[in-house]
Structure 1
């Protein structure tokens, strides 16, 4: 006896339900969707793009040149990414730290005006 799985919708199309064997990652970051060494910050992605995009263009337009330019660009992009990860801060300063930086910039530096120590005639300090 055939099972009728049709759901009437008022349209001539049929709606099929129950398909569960296809994994769908909508809005999620699965392990297959990440670049190696990531996550990358925007400065790192911009640097990688500025190095690799011209290298890929060169590789596609000069096909008989070999993989030298592409390999050198990959090594350079890796080196720049490592340098940026060492130099850039992990996170932004807090609002309190920014306020203290602004105050130190705006307010004048205090000069230390200490009175010179005087000695009495006997060599003792007052």
Structure 2
């Protein structure tokens, strides 16, 4: 399994920006996803690849190589350019600014402290700072 770890406030903001659901529903979706990733990672640690969304956007090649190694497939230099072939992505490059833009604090620690704690553990397991 490949699990994407992204700052929770950015996840909720992304859901809100796309107008799909309310902020509260975005929080619930994020919490459910983190719980599922945490459970799978505990049960199948050697078969889970935890990657940070920020790393994928800012330095995609090593991330893609790691994913390919897990999946036992060959890496292609075109893989980090997948956005060029996705009609829903309206940019001519990966937009790393989404990682650093200001977003609303969704108070997820008050909303779902247990899922936030699981997220922080997953990020530590991935060997990265929270």
Between Structure 1 and Structure 2, the one with more helix by share is 2
Between Structure 1 and Structure 2, the one with more strand by share is 2
Into which bin does the TM-score normalised by the smaller protein fall? Answer: under 0.3
Give the structure-1-normalised TM-score.
0.25
Q: Which has the larger radius of gyration?
A: 1
Give the structure-2-normalised TM-score.
0.24
